[in-house]
Structure 1
């Protein structure tokens, strides 16, 4: 009877039921989710403002980065709900459970598809530079790629949103989880393979060719955009790679003993925090560009006030100098009158 009731719990409850002294990492996770939410909202909102107000949105790379920022914002708005879930329990109902799970996966899937499209665009520009193309066609292709990324992400998230549901245990503890189902696990593994490991393989292939081309090029300064895109892509896979790997391990590995449960749960929680922190990375990496930093300074109120004061000072100086000249000329005329 105890075993049957234990199997109905979530993974975390299973650990705590067997090992009451196990360190509870949920409070730490909830606190980190709140911090990530604050930094990501500020950073991505500033990035969107800089791109819309000061950058050229006919530039293909800027189009992709704007869509990445929107993707990160969609992912970010779900974090306070997951934070409350880890700090307390699920209190938002079944519809919110499905909707927020869908938003979570839309943000995740759209990010990886947009990064893949951005890498392919760099591949075409650098490696296939002799391939006939014009700016209008490239811009249209980028818009189509971004639209396709959102459509595919929304379509892929429907399955995840439908599978999750709210369950209440005997202790009145509500959970928003996808419970064990062999068919669902198989579908999840196929989806992870298609939307994470397949894009990773494409990106590795593209950047291998890009690096060979850049090394042979005489002028490497024009490939500065390649470095920025590489940093953004690398940050994504560094953050999300360990989490996806541990999810696959979790599907077929069953820890034995309290210490094994505790160590695996802590490793899983740390990888999850690292993955969620990725939504803060893109604004920081975009600010590596000197032009982007200059545009950000223009957006800040203190810089606007300083610029207005400087302009007012210049205008006053330009007014004072003619007046002084005019006064000096009048004085010269008055001095000459007596003679």
Structure 2
């Protein structure tokens, strides 16, 4: 991530500087802070609702809890990237590696968990005659969640090792990976983004075909919610990942083309990073979760009122006790006289 509005463009192997390029980094940095606030609030509320009101032994709820945790892991990196854009990298080499690892753990675990949710829906809806039971399904879900975290952590290690803090010619310090590692990055993105996309498209094609043939579609409301969650992920992250693959192969011809590429890159990045605060909104498509959320918020309001009422009652008791003591003192004083 860079925070420099002066960019270079190459034409006929001649490199020159483009000084008057619209600076999008301030907008991106401010947006990252907003996404951080909404994501922390939304995913924390979602976790509270699931823990307090829902059965975490339910397979879908288990996936949703892990997805919320994945979003939170990704979210904690946003203030660091915002500072990187608005100023430069001031947190040192270790933090650069750690935040890069957290960024990729959140990204990769999300897509693996979404793929596992889709496969679970595929087995439940399309292969409903397939011999299975709740115990096996739950074991599959637990195994998929554990595998998602293990694979994402292992995959993020290479990114964390390769990234480092570098000082550029204009004395700006950046946390970035060397461009020579692009081949490994492309392979990793293909395996952990586009390959799951193929699986999800195949599964949901079969799921939707089965649901449309079904006479009782109300039974498949969970399918709609999961489909919206999966679609939101690829709508947000798809353009950004495609652009990352195209960007090294595309050489802009002149400053105008460089500026367009620069603006499109930041717009796609904002769209991708905003995904972590969208899932709580999509989960509210479930009427049951909305009811739980309202109940949770009303309980908090009631507890606050009870605390205020208790404080008022204790103050009134204190005032009454004070007045009794004062009256007693006056009576004793009169008797002594």
8 A contact 2:3–2:84 mirrored in 1: no
Greater than 2 Å deviation, 4+ residue runs: 9-17, 169-172, 301-304, 306-309
Which residue number in structure 1 is paired with residue 71 of structure 2?
72
8 A contact 1:75–1:279 mirrored in 2: yes
8 A contact 2:3–2:86 mirrored in 1: no
Which residue number in structure 2 is paired with residue 103 of structure 1?
102
8 A contact 1:214–1:223 mirrored in 2: yes
Asked whether 1:252 is paired with 2:245, we answer: no
Q: Secondary structure at the match of 1:18?
A: strand
Asked whether 1:293 is paired with 2:290, we answer: yes
User: Alpha-carbon deviations, 1:16-73, whole Å to 9, x = none?
Assistant: 9711111111111000000100000000000011111111111111100100000000
Q: Structure 1 residues 302 and 54, CA, compared in 2 at 3 Å: closer, same or farther? A: closer
Q: Which runs of 5+ in 1 are unaligned?
A: 1-8, 310-339
Q: Distance in 2 between matches of 1:31 and 1:265?
A: 17
8 A contact 1:298–1:304 mirrored in 2: no
> Which residues of 2 match residues 24-35 of structure 1 at below 5 A?
24-35=23-34
Asked whether 1:190 is paired with 2:187, we answer: yes
Q: Distance in 2 between matches of 1:297 and 1:109?
A: 32
Shift of 1:15: 3.7
Q: Distance in 2 between matches of 1:127 and 1:304?
A: 44
Asked whether 1:147 is paired with 2:146, we answer: yes
Q: Distance in 1 between matches of 2:199 and 2:44?
A: 30
Shift of 1:299: 1.4
Q: Distance in 1 between matches of 2:54 and 2:257?
A: 51
Asked whether 1:272 is paired with 2:265, we answer: no
Shift of 1:234: 0.2
User: Alpha-carbon deviations, 1:97-116, whole Å to 9, x = none?
Assistant: 01000000000000000000
Q: Which runs of 5+ in 2 are unaligned?
A: 10-15, 307-337
TM-score, with structure 1 as normaliser: 0.85
Q: 2:209 aligns with which of 212, 218, 223?
A: 212
Q: Distance in 1 between matches of 2:183 and 2:3?
A: 19
Q: Structure 1 residues 149 and 193, CA, compared in 2 at 3 Å: closer, same or farther? A: same
Q: Structure 1 residues 271 and 245, CA, compared in 2 at 3 Å: closer, same or farther? A: same
> Which residues of 2 match residues 17-166 of structure 1 at below 5 A?
18-166=17-165
User: Alpha-carbon deviations, 1:178-201, whole Å to 9, x = none?
Assistant: 1210xx211111111111110000
Between stretches 266-275 and 209-218, larger displacement belongs to 209-218
Shift of 1:297: 1.2
TM-score, with structure 2 as normaliser: 0.85
8 A contact 2:3–2:25 mirrored in 1: no
Asked whether 1:14 is paired with 2:7, we answer: yes
Asked whether 1:242 is paired with 2:239, we answer: yes
Corresponding residue pairs, total: 300
8 A contact 1:297–1:303 mirrored in 2: no
8 A contact 1:105–1:157 mirrored in 2: yes
Q: Distance in 2 between matches of 1:216 and 1:171?
A: 63
Shift of 1:173: 1.2
Q: Distance in 2 between matches of 1:243 and 1:192?
A: 11
Q: 2:200 aligns with which of 199, 203, 214?
A: 203
Shift of 1:215: 1.4
Shift of 1:169: 2.6
User: Alpha-carbon deviations, 1:237-296, whole Å to 9, x = none?
Assistant: 000000001001102111121001100000000000000000011100001111101111
User: Alpha-carbon deviations, 1:182-232, whole Å to 9, x = none?
Assistant: xx2111111111111100000000001001111111211100000000000
